[in-house]
Structure 1
Amino acid sequence: MRFGRCIGAFIIAAFLAVLSIHPLPAYAKTTVDVSPALSDLNHVITALQKGKSADHDFSSFKEWWQQHKAAVTKSSLDASIQLSQDISAASLDLLNGDRKQAIKSIGTLRQTLQDYQSGLYGGTGKSGQHSLSSYITELGNTKQSMDKKDWVTAASQVKQLQQDWLSVEGDVVSQSQSIYTESEKNLVMMDAYLANPQTRKKAVPLIEEMIISLKPLVSANYGLWDAALIPIREGLEALLVIGSLLMFARKANSRPAKLWVWGGTTLAVLVCLTVGAIVSFLLSVAAFGNNNSLISGWSGVLASLMLLYVGYWLHRNADIKRWKAFIQSKTSQAISTRKMVSFAVLAFIAVLREGMETVIFLIGMTGRMPASELIMGIAVGFGILIVIGFFMLKLGVLLPMRPFFLLSSFVVFYLCFKFMGSGIHSLQMAGVLPSSVSDALPSVNSLSIFPSWYSTIPQAVCLFLFILIIMKELPTAASHKNQKHTKEA
């Protein structure tokens, strides 16, 4: 436990050290007037939609860009980089004569300019309460495109909304977990609906719901408990994984296994802090793009697969006779090196998945509340997590062998099911998997059940395997129980 306490103290100290510093330098207060550029781009899109040449208007836009590029870069480096990328993509599509793709890329370029104008890339958008307000403005622009039945532009704008979500999700989750989960789900569903001409109109009530639910959060003030709840909420699932692994290591009396688990946990925390520092001092939350969704997605799926195996192994060893045979068949090390490495990898993935979001959320709160309250909130949050972890380990040791393994296996299978759903949902947010949805499927946010076959089928497979494992072990348990009754008789 001494090693564990040292790691816990180190984690808190490191988080406080990174987050006590304001993450981003002050942005220039002035932005460039982009009205002429937006007018040119609107003419480009209109010309392309009518099948006419758009070369003159796009050349006019590029002249504007050359004249104002330095000023835009001075006011927001992130916006300048993004605009340069968007212009290159649009120029290539126009050069290739791909009219349909050119309309999409010009729409993306126009949205980036609108984001810059509304402050999402700089100015007041990073220093006050305007970031979420700017995102709502962006939602309003997308709704206008839907109302005009300009579905191509709306689809491009929703893609941009998914990328920009990372800039404001910390604001949302700190005030309402339910609004955060529902908004993230709506972003994926809107993308899916707009991709199908038969379902495009279904996207309109979803964006209206997002605007209505997010507006009350714009003027909200943050406090100590807002900061404390983020590490508690994000860390509980990782704590359940680590706690189960540590309790198992204690039952097996394997000190090396404990060190492997703590080693994986520590490495994940260091990675999260490193990424947090890079985002804070070198990039920005907006520039981090969809990488967080990719990390969350792939780590969720991988953790789910590993948890499925761990859950099977724990459930299998709920049989006392088999557990004793396992211990007796090993050396004093009790657990093989390969299994200990897998414990470390699982702890690393679980903490990386939750820790990355925790760091990004907390960075989003920096500068929006007094630094002393933020630091105190973080300390309280991690303190509560440590207390919960302490009691978990104590109660786990007191539990009899069979109830301990059965309880642990059910917890692990629950996390396996949830990580699979949320992981695939994150991959859909990142654009790795299609954002297809089905009205025939249920949606339960608390269990990460989303109305998509891409997530529902893998979750159904996990559930089927879980039931299969239980059914397979029932005859063995009944046989041992009968043998015990026969001996007693």
Structure 2
Amino acid sequence: MKFGRCIGALIIISFLIISMYPLPAHAETAVDVSPALNDLNHAITALQNGKSADTDFSSFKVWWQHHKTAISKSSLDASIQLSQDISSASLDLLNGDKKQAIKSVGTLRQTLQDYQSGLYGGGRKSGHHSLTSYITELRNTKQSMDKKDWVTAASQVKQLQQDWLSVEGDVVSQSQNIYTESEKDLVMMDAYLANPSTRSKALPLVDEMITSLKPLASANYGMWDAALIPIREGLEALLVIGAMLTFARKANSKPAKLWIWSGTSLAIIVCLTVGALVSFLLSVAAFGNNNSLINGWSGVIASLMLLYVGYWLHRNADIKRWNAFIHSKTSEAISKRKMVSFALLAFIAVLREGMETVIFLIGMAGRMPASKLIMGIGVGFGILIVIGFLMLKLGVLLPIRPFFMISSFVVFYLCFKFMGSGIHSLQMAGVLPSSVSDALPSINSLSIFPSWYSIIPQAACLLIFIVIILKRLPTAASN
């Protein structure tokens, strides 16, 4: 069975990669940054009052020169980030741009607070923040909001969005609802803080995140926590691939099946390669924005492709049209162009869900016994194999018309959901503005978010789907 062999190969490769994961390195003793934070706080206060911050910032730079080597030994990531932030702040102060200087000095202060909270780990680029450290970061953001230091709070929320990837695996493995709500809250906080008239609405959201994440911070992981990740993330990709494979089998097109499997296999290899690079060469936090971009663009592209595939499946629900299609193609059954598009769709669907799965599992590695992690991954993919096998068997047994009708509805549902979640990820990455509207609904299960940027494209997809259904009604009635 090709399906079982492919997933089995994925499990084996996953085991090999996980077995090579390095144990977290022990960090050097962190440097006390309290004096530096005092200097930066005084500098920000001076700038906000229209005064010079040169004295306080010079005092901070003296502290930095004395402790730069120690911080570098404690955390190379923190040292590099601090050097970049100091350069930006120095340039803004030199140019006399007080508004931009407040923002850049605030960013520098946030980096120091992150280092103090343990968010940068040890000297090795592990980038594995703990939920406890992330909650500390949320509390620092809350303090800025309480003080009505909105510029600093906005910068801190941007950092929270970047650091989210390091802890989202911890969250999603315990609660899908809290995970989805937290992602939505991060986008909404960013939107509220960007508008002076809505800034106060951000405070309840950060309180909500702290309250919901706090019980998860002390939880222990088990086998089923690891198993649920591939099941949850892989199911939607499995629906897409299963529908296309069943169609290819009904058309008796071996080349089409080969193209679909090729796209799927390539996506799996890419996901595992990226996972290895993130684990060994990069930090998870550093990859966060790129992962949001991948999820965003792949979601939008997959949604548009699914819209076409759904239309095509629904169109071929007519038995006469299907028979004419098969006979007209003779031995080819499916055109080369359509087979390539199937492979591309399989690649995008697996890449989107597979990237999340790999990053989530990397986040769990080292935080639970390796035996339970490996067993959980095996159980998760084993359940996916069973589901995939049943889908293929039942799909082939279904008569032509019910198969195409069911498949088209599933595909249109995924099209609607991928569009919403894709645009939401682009907002997380900063490609689209994080604007929200209190008048819009929010339904996590359908990836409906309170933003016109996602609602309008989803409404367009829904409208097209309704038009396609209405156009097919006279044909269906005549059959």
Q: CA deviation at 1:297?
A: 0.5
Alignment of 1:299-318 (within 5 A): 299-318=298-317
Q: CA deviation at 1:66?
A: 2.5
| Equivalent residue number for residue 169 of structure 1 | 168
Alignment of 1:205-354 (within 5 A): 205-354=204-353
| Equivalent residue number for residue 137 of structure 2 | 138
- 8 Å CA contact 1:171, 1:361 repeated in 2: yes
In structure 2, what residue type is equivalent to 1:367? G
| Equivalent residue number for residue 197 of structure 1 | 196
User: Are the structure 2 counterparts of residues 76 and 277 from structure 1 closer, same or farther at C-alpha, using a change threshold of 3 Å?
Assistant: same
- 8 Å CA contact 1:127, 1:367 repeated in 2: no
Q: CA deviation at 1:385?
A: 0.4
User: Are the structure 2 counterparts of residues 208 and 145 from structure 1 closer, same or farther at C-alpha, using a change threshold of 3 Å?
Assistant: same
Asked if 1:8 corresponds to 2:10, the answer is no
Q: CA deviation at 1:128?
A: 13
1:48-85 deviation line (CA, Å, top 9, x unaligned): 11111112222222232232222212211221222222
User: Are the structure 2 counterparts of residues 79 and 284 from structure 1 closer, same or farther at C-alpha, using a change threshold of 3 Å?
Assistant: same
| Equivalent residue number for residue 179 of structure 1 | 178
> Could you tell me how far apart the structure 2 residues matched to 1:472 and 1:25 are?
59
Q: CA deviation at 1:124?
A: 11
Q: CA deviation at 1:23?
A: 4.0
| Equivalent residue number for residue 400 of structure 2 | 401
For residue 476 of structure 1, give the secondary structure of its aligned residue in structure 2.
Answer: helix
Q: CA deviation at 1:249?
A: 0.6
- 8 Å CA contact 2:171, 2:213 repeated in 1: yes
User: Are the structure 2 counterparts of residues 457 and 127 from structure 1 closer, same or farther at C-alpha, using a change threshold of 3 Å?
Assistant: closer
User: Are the structure 2 counterparts of residues 215 and 329 from structure 1 closer, same or farther at C-alpha, using a change threshold of 3 Å?
Assistant: same
- 8 Å CA contact 1:27, 1:75 repeated in 2: no
- 8 Å CA contact 1:139, 1:211 repeated in 2: yes
- Which runs of at least 4 in structure 1 moved beyond 6 Å after TM superposition? 124-130
Alignment of 1:333-482 (within 5 A): 333-478=332-477, 480-481=478-479
1:256-289 deviation line (CA, Å, top 9, x unaligned): 1111111111111111111111111112212223
> Could you tell me how far apart the structure 1 residues matched to 2:80 and 2:353 are?
29
For residue 434 of structure 2, give the secondary structure of its aligned residue in structure 1.
Answer: coil
| Equivalent residue number for residue 109 of structure 1 | 108
- 8 Å CA contact 1:27, 1:126 repeated in 2: no
> Could you tell me how far apart the structure 2 residues matched to 1:12 and 1:140 are?
39
For residue 289 of structure 1, give the secondary structure of its aligned residue in structure 2.
Answer: helix
- 8 Å CA contact 1:129, 1:218 repeated in 2: no
For residue 130 of structure 2, give the secondary structure of its aligned residue in structure 1.
Answer: helix
- 8 Å CA contact 2:121, 2:127 repeated in 1: no
> Could you tell me how far apart the structure 1 residues matched to 2:305 and 2:146 are?
46
Instruction: Show structure 2 runs of 5+ residues with no match.
Output: none
- 8 Å CA contact 1:27, 1:76 repeated in 2: no
For residue 284 of structure 2, give the secondary structure of its aligned residue in structure 1.
Answer: coil
> Could you tell me how far apart the structure 2 residues matched to 1:5 and 1:262 are?
12
> Could you tell me how far apart the structure 1 residues matched to 2:22 and 2:170 are?
15
* Deviates most, 275-284 or 26-35: 26-35
- 8 Å CA contact 1:23, 1:366 repeated in 2: no
Alignment of 1:116-127 (within 5 A): 116-123=115-122
For residue 301 of structure 1, give the secondary structure of its aligned residue in structure 2.
Answer: helix
User: Are the structure 2 counterparts of residues 125 and 184 from structure 1 closer, same or farther at C-alpha, using a change threshold of 3 Å?
Assistant: farther
For residue 220 of structure 1, give the secondary structure of its aligned residue in structure 2.
Answer: coil
| Equivalent residue number for residue 487 of structure 1 | none
| Equivalent residue number for residue 146 of structure 2 | 147
For residue 411 of structure 1, give the secondary structure of its aligned residue in structure 2.
Answer: helix
In structure 1, what residue type is equivalent to 2:116? Q
| Equivalent residue number for residue 55 of structure 1 | 54
The number of equivalent residue pairs is 479
For residue 431 of structure 2, give the secondary structure of its aligned residue in structure 1.
Answer: coil
In structure 1, what residue type is equivalent to 2:94? L
Q: CA deviation at 1:127?
A: 9.2
> Could you tell me how far apart the structure 2 residues matched to 1:367 and 1:125 are?
15
> Could you tell me how far apart the structure 1 residues matched to 2:93 and 2:330 are?
69
- 8 Å CA contact 1:232, 1:382 repeated in 2: yes
In structure 1, what residue type is equivalent to 2:247? F
For residue 53 of structure 1, give the secondary structure of its aligned residue in structure 2.
Answer: coil
1:396-415 deviation line (CA, Å, top 9, x unaligned): 00000000000000000000
Alignment of 1:71-110 (within 5 A): 71-110=70-109
For residue 290 of structure 1, give the secondary structure of its aligned residue in structure 2.
Answer: helix
> Could you tell me how far apart the structure 2 residues matched to 1:54 and 1:247 are?
68
> Could you tell me how far apart the structure 2 residues matched to 1:252 and 1:86 are?
59
In structure 2, what residue type is equivalent to 1:176? S
- 8 Å CA contact 2:121, 2:128 repeated in 1: no
User: Are the structure 2 counterparts of residues 468 and 24 from structure 1 closer, same or farther at C-alpha, using a change threshold of 3 Å?
Assistant: farther
| Equivalent residue number for residue 486 of structure 1 | none
Q: CA deviation at 1:435?
A: 0.4
- 8 Å CA contact 2:142, 2:207 repeated in 1: yes
Q: CA deviation at 1:21?
A: 3.0
User: Are the structure 2 counterparts of residues 80 and 331 from structure 1 closer, same or farther at C-alpha, using a change threshold of 3 Å?
Assistant: farther
- 8 Å CA contact 2:77, 2:123 repeated in 1: no
Q: CA deviation at 1:123?
A: 4.2
In structure 1, what residue type is equivalent to 2:82? L
> Could you tell me how far apart the structure 2 residues matched to 1:124 and 1:84 are?
16
> Could you tell me how far apart the structure 1 residues matched to 2:51 and 2:101 are?
13
Provide the identity percentage: 83
- 8 Å CA contact 1:254, 1:333 repeated in 2: yes
- 8 Å CA contact 1:23, 1:363 repeated in 2: no
> Could you tell me how far apart the structure 1 residues matched to 2:84 and 2:412 are?
43
For residue 175 of structure 1, give the secondary structure of its aligned residue in structure 2.
Answer: coil
> Could you tell me how far apart the structure 1 residues matched to 2:399 and 2:362 are?
43
In structure 1, what residue type is equivalent to 2:449? F
In structure 2, what residue type is equivalent to 1:324? N
In structure 2, what residue type is equivalent to 1:208? D
Q: CA deviation at 1:327?
A: 1.1
Instruction: Show structure 1 runs of 5+ residues with no match.
Output: 482-489
In structure 1, what residue type is equivalent to 2:379? V
